């Protein structure tokens, strides 16, 4: 993790993504989490306050050697033990069928190869396990989609690779059975990343 990501990008994202409207989305999503959880891209730990008592343990996979101090503080405030694994989503070192729940929130926009990452999530989920997702996506059409496409080449280098134009719903549906999905504009978010999907999926 470079200095820009550590000192500029992560604090900015912590501020934007800790808004009450976003936290309400997290709470609604994570109420379904249970058992052994794998979270991809734990970041500053904004999901951690929302995990229910049904969660027994949390493994966080991220390409970094140490847990962000804000994530460590949030885990401590909840009494959660979070095991950090230094790994990219596209190549997880965990054995297959290791987790009851996998969680991605505002991360599939950034991974270099989202198809590989989704395949890995499917591999490490146990039979009957669930993927819980909250992601910003490309708008369905119109002027908003044109704006996203125009701004994407500028946006990516400023946001550590975050793409404005990924159709994550389609990518997930290619590998998982989508059990529930809600696509809507999320209040309080910048217009270019305002369109989000929230839902759950399971292995077909």
Other C-beta atoms lying within 10 Å of the C-beta of residue 193 = 20
pLDDT digits (tens, 9 = 90+) for 104-123: 999 999 999 999 999 999 99
| CATH number of the domain residue 170 falls in | 3.40.50.150
Query: DSSP strand E in 87-170: where?
Result: 99-105, 125-136
Is the pLDDT confidence value at 8 over 80?
Answer: yes
Instruction: Determine the 3-state secondary structure of 39 from DSSP.
Output: strand
What is the phi-psi region of residue 128: left when phi exceeds 0, alpha when psi lies from -120 to 50, beta otherwise? Answer: left
| Domain count across the chain | 1
Return the pLDDT at 4.
84
pLDDT digits (tens, 9 = 90+) for 54-73: 999 999 999 998 999 999 99
Its domain, for residue 44, covers 3-202
The pair of three-digit structure tokens given for residue 126, joined into one six-digit string: 């146990």
């Amino acid at each position: 993790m470079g200095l820009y990501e550590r000192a500029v990008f992560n604090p900015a994202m912590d501020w934007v993504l800790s808004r009450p409207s976003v936290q309400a989305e997290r709470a609604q999503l994570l109420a379904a989490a249970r058992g052994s959880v794998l979270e991809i891209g734990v970041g500053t730990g904004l999901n951690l306050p929302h995990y229910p008592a049904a969660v027994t343990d949390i493994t966080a996979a991220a390409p970094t050697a140490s847990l962000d101090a804000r994530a460590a503080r949030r885990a401590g405030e909840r009494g959660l033990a979070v095991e950090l694994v230094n790994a990219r989503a596209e190549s997880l070192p965990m054995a297959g069928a290791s987790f009851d729940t996998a969680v991605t929130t505002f991360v599939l926009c950034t991974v270099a190869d989202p198809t590989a990452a989704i395949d890995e999530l499917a591999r490490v989920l146990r039979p009957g396990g669930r993927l819980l997702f909250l992601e910003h996506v490309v708008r369905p059409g119109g002027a908003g989609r044109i704006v996203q496409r125009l701004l994407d080449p500028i946006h990516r280098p400023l946001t550590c690779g975050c793409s404005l134009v990924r159709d994550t719903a389609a990518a997930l549906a290619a590998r998982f059975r989508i059990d529930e999905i809600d696509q809507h504009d999320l209040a309080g978010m910048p217009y270019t990343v305002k369109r989000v999907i929230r839902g759950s999926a399971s292995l077909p």
